[in-house]
Amino acid sequence: MERLWGLFQRAQQLSPRSSQTVYQRVEGPRKGHLEEEEEDGEEGAETLAHFCPMELRGPEPLGSRPRQPNLIPWAAAGRRAAPYLVLTALLIFTGAFLLGYVAFRGSCQACGDSVLVVSEDVNYEPDLDFHQGRLYWSDLQAMFLQFLGEGRLEDTIRQTSLRERVAGSAGMAALTQDIRAALSRQKLDHVWTDTHYVGLQFPDPAHPNTLHWVDEAGKVGEQLPLEDPDVYCPYSAIGNVTGELVYAHYGRPEDLQDLRARGVDPVGRLLLVRVGVISFAQKVTNAQDFGAQGVLIYPEPADFSQDPPKPSLSSQQAVYGHVHLGTGDPYTPGFPSFNQTQFPPVASSGLPSIPAQPISADIASRLLRKLKGPVAPQEWQGSLLGSPYHLGPGPRLRLVVNNHRTSTPINNIFGCIEGRSEPDHYVVIGAQRDAWGPGAAKSAVGTAILLELVRTFSSMVSNGFRPRRSLLFISWDGGDFGSVGSTEWLEGYLSVLHLKAVVYVSLDNAVLGDDKFHAKTSPLLTSLIESVLKQVDSPNHSGQTLYEQVVFTNPSWDAEVIRPLPMDSSAYSFTAFVGVPAVEFSFMEEDTYENLHKVLQGRLPAVAQAVAQLAGQLLIRLSHDRLLPLDFGRYGDVVLRHIGNLNEFSGDLKARGLTLQWVYSARGDYIRAAEKLRQEIYSSEERDERLTRMYNVEFYFLSQYVSPADSPFRHIFMGRGDHTLGALLDHLRLLRSNSSGTPGATSSTGFQESRFRRQLALLTWTLQGAANALSGDVWNIDNNF
């Protein structure tokens, strides 16, 4: 063995120097490419690193260089020893590899919660179709940032904000053609338009909505001017109502309960409520549930900015908002509104049965001055009067709403970059295109960012990028009427989208300020959002990333940033209706208001650019990572937190001979299944096809035991209906409010044991179904509680 080793060392000393591959720029017509050269392995040689197109050549063919003269007299002995040297080296290498593999597997098993945390170049498959080169995360990130230009973004925001964008208008038709043409000019694989015929509600110019005083004798008196007759509440009930006025703060259930507790009953009265905290639709639904006759909604100046450089809302301006408690066309619930389709004569259960109308702060101040009764709580006070607000009741008012419904064509515009390996899995990004009135905040910024991302990814494709999964860019119509365009598309393709859509990223409401950053999202995306926040610079804190900006305010970054998906977001329907994880980003002020350019004092392009960077880097991860960076272990925390709220009612249920044990057992099964699968993925072989498939965990939280037509939002945590955890908790709270307080006591408004048992079964088996789906094959599942 020593003799062999000596021969090997002498052969090394006399052998030619090894060569290495470096890259140099190619000038002339192929400028921008890197070409391979063979150079001697001298000390100090540098390898150029760029993300620009590369050309890799294989080794030069044998005989391409002159042969070296044979200067080694004992070469024959070396050749005889070569097989033994190779065998020895192979044995040493194999032993070291096995030891390293075992050690690595052991260390991975102990990694715990860091399994799906995304880091640079981890879980990342290089693009092999880049002029025969390789692209890693850092390459794609640099390429993306280079092509993302701020100048075009600012111009597009300005131009879009000046155009008429009301759904169904001639201006919207022209904008639709222009955006489709813009997409067609890019390097996309497919561009098309989807048209839906939907029922939208508009004001009647011949019969405008009115508000009058009514005297004690019931005679209609002076009319209160509605300064902007075009501002209204789409999907309000039609007709006229008369009643005394009552002030009800934001119109939340707790506000109305507090009102009743203070001796002011909402039944049969008109409620005056403030804009904010909850949606217009929720305010009107709550008022209806408490027996009110109608609702007037006004913007309270105390809720808007009082900072002199930042203009607040005009006191003569009302705020637009639809009042359908749902999404999509409310006259075809659960069905897509394609032309010539016959629908059953049914309307959405989310349509209100009472009228609603927005009014300005000036009109609200006139109404508030007339109110008597108890003084409103301190937190209900505002700045319209020089004296405290009262709850009422006050004088009688007559509200007349004459909005009319019309069948209106709306158009969604699509552009697609097909994926290389998984073209049937879609990463979807969309922005609302329509808006009621001018301005940038509602839709112009999102539309501009969407177009800029299309241009940027198109340029990347031209330079060799090809995502693993398909990228689907969508411009939605009818968003101001309750995400009508997006919901109708989801209804039309419901049977396939839960299998094919990976994630939805919404650009609606992207820039409403720059003081705070929020991500309204599914828990599955929380870890990925954290990772990408660390890659994007803050637009208003120089030298800081967005992540550093938010943790400076609150070390618990997710408590500062993460919010639940609101129903008035297009992202909500993707998650609660179809079961696709979704996210909507928003830069916000402490208070939000209209004139966005003045509010941001010239920083709008920089803030919009930050959103574009955030969304773009998220798209690269989602479309190009070998394993989808979805952290389904996060739902274990959600399950623990939500179901933990049930614990306080265990004693009350036990007194009635009832138990929550079933749902606790299903919770445990889900948490164990999620953790087991997560460990399997992390410690698996790279090409394990079973574990690299898409796991749409979000879909598993849609209750399979209720009808999508009757309960479209089937998600047990985010949805609406008796099958949800929220509904079960509301029902259990009635245990504490039953007047009799005796076991078995029921009423139409109290706790009902039969209803509780059904709710518990719906929740338990949906959660158990999610656990079973993660557990794998049926022979590995035990459904016995």
Residues 146-204 pLDDT 10s = 998 756 888 888 888 888 889 999 999 999 999 999 999 999 999 999 999 999 999 99
Say if strands 127-130 and 133-135 run parallel, antiparallel, or are unpaired: antiparallel
How far, in Å, are 10, 77, 119, 390, 544 from residue 68 at the CA level? 18, 18, 47, 102, 58
User: Does 72 or 95 have the greater pLDDT score?
Assistant: 95
> Residue 389 burial by CB count (10 A; 0-12/13-18/19+): exposed, middle or buried?
buried
User: Does 650 or 53 have the greater pLDDT score?
Assistant: 650
DSSP state of 575: I
User: Does 83 or 707 have the greater pLDDT score?
Assistant: 707
**pLDDT tops 60 at residue 103:** no
Residue 448 pLDDT grade (very low, low, confident, very high; cuts 50, 70, 90): very high
Are 127 and 456 a contacting pair, CB within 8 Å? Answer: no
- The 3-state DSSP class for residue 215 equals coil
**pLDDT tops 60 at residue 24:** no
pLDDT for position 346: 77
Least confidently predicted of 89-98, 187-196, 544-553, 577-586: 89-98
pLDDT for position 783: 64
**pLDDT tops 50 at residue 71:** no
pLDDT for position 682: 74
pLDDT tens for each residue of 481-533 = 999 999 999 999 988 998 899 999 999 988 877 678 899 999 999 999 999 99
Q: Is 214 left (phi over 0), alpha (psi -120 to 50) or beta?
A: beta
For residue 198, which phi and psi values (nearest 5 degrees)?
-120, 160
Count other Cβ atoms within 10 Å, centred on residue 692: 17
For the chain, give the number of residues.
785
Q: Is the whole model's pTM more than 0.85, yes or no?
A: no
How far, in Å, are 272, 282, 730 from residue 721 at the CA level? 27, 14, 11
Are 701 and 527 a contacting pair, CB within 8 Å? Answer: no
Least confidently predicted of 85-99, 135-149, 547-561: 85-99
Q: Which of 280, 298, 290, 294 is nearest to 260 (CA)?
A: 290
Residue 53 pLDDT grade (very low, low, confident, very high; cuts 50, 70, 90): very low
Stretch 620-644: mean pLDDT: 86
Beta bridge partners of 517: 587
Distance CA 680, CA 674 (A): 10
pLDDT for position 781: 73
Q: Name residues whose C-beta falls within 8 Å of residue 555's C-beta, 6 or more positions apart in sequence.
A: none
**pLDDT tops 80 at residue 599:** no
pLDDT for position 589: 61
Count other Cβ atoms within 10 Å, centred on residue 347: 14
pLDDT for position 757: 92
- The 3-state DSSP class for residue 471 equals strand
Distance CA 185, CA 759 (A): 52
| CA quadruple 39, 44, 48, 49: dihedral sign | positive
pLDDT for position 642: 81
pLDDT for position 49: 37
Are 697 and 635 a contacting pair, CB within 8 Å? Answer: yes
Distance CA 760, CA 754 (A): 10
How far, in Å, are 424, 486, 489, 528 from residue 494 at the CA level? 15, 12, 8, 26
- Alpha helices for 185-267 (secondary structure H): 253-261
pLDDT for position 344: 64
In this structure, what is the dihedral angle of CA atoms 201, 207, 209, 213, given to the nearest 10 degrees?
A: -160
**pLDDT tops 50 at residue 385:** yes
Beta bridge partners of 244: 396
Least confidently predicted of 97-101, 192-196, 443-447, 663-667: 97-101
pLDDT tens for each residue of 754-783 = 999 999 999 999 999 999 888 877 776 766
Gap between the terminal Cα atoms of the chain: 65
| CA quadruple 748, 751, 753, 757: dihedral sign | positive
pLDDT for position 27: 41
pLDDT tens for each residue of 25-40 = 334 434 434 333 334 4
pLDDT for position 332: 87
Stretch 602-618: mean pLDDT: 88
pLDDT for position 317: 83
Distance CA 661, CA 430 (A): 42
Q: 């390789």: which residue's tokens?
A: 134
Stretch 563-582: mean pLDDT: 92
Stretch 247-256: mean pLDDT: 96
Beta bridge partners of 214: 220, 396
Token code pair at residue 353: 């049965």
Beta bridge partners of 201: 405
Q: Is 291 left (phi over 0), alpha (psi -120 to 50) or beta?
A: left
**pLDDT tops 90 at residue 243:** yes
Give residue 514's identity as a one-letter amino acid code.
Answer: D
Give residue 760's identity as a one-letter amino acid code.
Answer: L
User: Does 393 or 24 have the greater pLDDT score?
Assistant: 393
How far, in Å, are 31, 116, 675 from residue 774 at the CA level? 51, 16, 10
DSSP element (H, E) containing 755? helix 753-775
| CA quadruple 194, 412, 695, 640: dihedral sign | negative
How far, in Å, are 405, 433, 473, 676, 731 from residue 411 at the CA level? 18, 10, 14, 45, 41
**pLDDT tops 70 at residue 258:** yes
* Peptide bond preceding 393 in cis form (omega within 30 of 0): yes
Stretch 457-480: mean pLDDT: 94
Token code pair at residue 672: 């164990």
User: Does 452 or 41 have the greater pLDDT score?
Assistant: 452
Distance CA 299, CA 364 (A): 9
Q: Among 88-97, 352-361, 458-467, 628-637, name the most confident range.
A: 352-361
pLDDT for position 257: 93
Residue 379 pLDDT grade (very low, low, confident, very high; cuts 50, 70, 90): very high
pLDDT for position 785: 52
Least confidently predicted of 224-233, 302-311, 622-631, 717-726: 302-311
pLDDT for position 397: 96
Stretch 286-295: mean pLDDT: 96
**pLDDT tops 50 at residue 480:** yes
pLDDT for position 80: 65
User: Does 554 or 190 have the greater pLDDT score?
Assistant: 190
Three-state secondary structure readout of 604-672? HHHHHHHHHHHHHHHHHHHHHECCCCCCCCHHHHHHHHHHHCCHHHHHHHHHCCCCCHHHHHHHHHHHH
pLDDT for position 138: 82
Mean pLDDT score across all residues of the chain: 80
